[in-house]
Amino acid sequence: MKTKFPIHTTLSADAIKVLERYEKELGAKNVVLEKALLNLDNTRFKAKLDTQNIDRLIKRVDSGIPGLDDFLEGGYPKGFAVVVTGPPGTGKTTFSMQFLMEGVKNGERCIFFSFEERAQQLVQHFMRFGWDVGKYIDDGYLEIFGISMLTSEEMMEIIDSHKPDRVVFDSLNVISAPGDFRTSTSWRAVHRLLKKNLITSILVTEKSHGIDMKQFDEFDFLGDGIIFLDFIQTNDIDTTPMPVMSVQKMRATKVDHTPQPFRFTNTGIAKYRALSNPSQILQDKIAKRRSERLSHVSSDEV
Ligand SMILES: Nc1ncnc2c1ncn2[C@@H]1O[C@H](COP(=O)(O)OP(=O)(O)OP(=O)(O)O)[C@@H](O)[C@H]1O
Ligand SMILES: [Mg+2]
């Protein structure tokens, strides 16, 4: 059936009810009232964003990893959630704690939520690098929650009361499958709290494949940045694989994606300088590993 007056699709249901009532009484379309209601509705959905006072300069946070900040225009953008990912034993936990140690050294407050290691085991691990973890815990700068069974509400309470600048979650795979995580309302609440308070965070995630596989999961899309850690065998004679890191993405940043070698030292993760052109060697090795894997897959398919 044809309606007497046009349908006002851009108005809310309540506004349409008001408009229809007056139009029925007047027996004609009420353009003035419709305009007024539209204006009211527009302001209802406008975000309170003060574009005049947005700081154009993105503040950067030191990663704590020697050399890495040079590939990121000076560090992680403040308030970003950075996914640190890779296969088992590639240094994800060490990398993340070193990020917190950089913070506490500068008087920032930090929290480490581990979902798979005991706090004592973590502290022992970190103390081997000479990091004075106990002192920072005693002084109130650092909180470590081991084998955490905390709910998202409890984590939010802790974040609210400790007011950290940096937080690590190690690892998200323990809390949820990648597919469910990004859309879970409880995680979105944590994520929102971190963003609201400009807390820079590391989200550790696990990969069952190396850097040569171009495969991403839902965690990778959720993060503002992705740093992939892996081991690459660079030398056919010396079979010891070399740890490498590669920045796969960092929003709002001009990124140098070339993989960089690093090493574990007595003081934590350090830059590796022994190769004359490490990036080229690593890129060649990664490409080789990828083509070997692809030819392996296609021969399996025959
Ligand atoms: N004090 C140390 N000196 C040298 N290397 C170390 C030291 N402590 C740990 N490592 C190396 O660091 C790597 C593991 O570090 P880490 O626990 O950070 O990795 P991870 O990626 O978090 O592992 P997982 O996947 O099991 O959680 C290992 O390869 C280990 O040999
Ligand atoms: Mg770990």
CA 288 to each of CA 233, 256, 293, 301: distance values in angstroms, whole numbers, following the listed order: 11, 21, 8, 20
pLDDT tens profile 110-165: 999 999 999 999 999 999 999 999 999 999 999 999 988 899 999 999 999 999 99
pTM of the model: 0.82
pLDDT of residue 297: 64
**Which atom of ligand 1 lies at the shortest distance from residue 90's CA?**
21
Task: Check pocket membership of 130 for ligand 1, CB cut-off 6 A.
Answer: no
Distance CA 94, CA 46 (A): 43
pLDDT of residue 6: 57
**Which atom of ligand 1 lies at the shortest distance from residue 116's CA?**
27
Instruction: Read off the tokens for 31.
Output: 């353009």
- Compute the distance from residue 91 Cα to the ligand 2 centre, in Å: 7
- Compute the distance from residue 89 Cα to the ligand 1 centre, in Å: 5
Those residues of the chain that have pLDDT short of 50 are 1, 302
Work out the widest C-alpha separation in the chain, in whole angstroms: 91
CA 260 to each of CA 61, 70, 230: distance values in angstroms, whole numbers, following the listed order: 20, 12, 10
The alpha helices in the chain, defined as continuous H runs, are: 13-26, 31-45, 92-105, 119-127, 133-138, 152-162, 172-175, 178-181, 185-196, 218-222, 278-301
Structural domain boundaries of the chain? 13-45, 71-294
CB 95, CB 63: distance < 8 Å: no
**Which atom of ligand 1 lies at the shortest distance from residue 87's CA?**
25
CB 227, CB 81: distance < 8 Å: no
Q: Which of 90, 172, 265 to mutate to test the pocket of ligand 1 (most atoms within 8 A of CB)?
A: 90
Give the DSSP letter of residue 140: T
Distance CA 129, CA 88 (A): 20
pLDDT of residue 39: 77
Mean pLDDT for all residues in the chain = 88
Task: Check pocket membership of 89 for ligand 1, CB cut-off 6 A.
Answer: yes
Distance CA 115, CA 149 (A): 7
Distance CA 12, CA 17 (A): 9
Superfamily for 71-294? Answer: P-loop containing nucleotide triphosphate hydrolases (3.40.50.300)
Place of tokens 């959905």: 45
Distance CA 150, CA 73 (A): 35
CA 133 to each of CA 93, 120, 128: distance values in angstroms, whole numbers, following the listed order: 14, 11, 10
Task: Check pocket membership of 243 for ligand 1, CB cut-off 6 A.
Answer: no
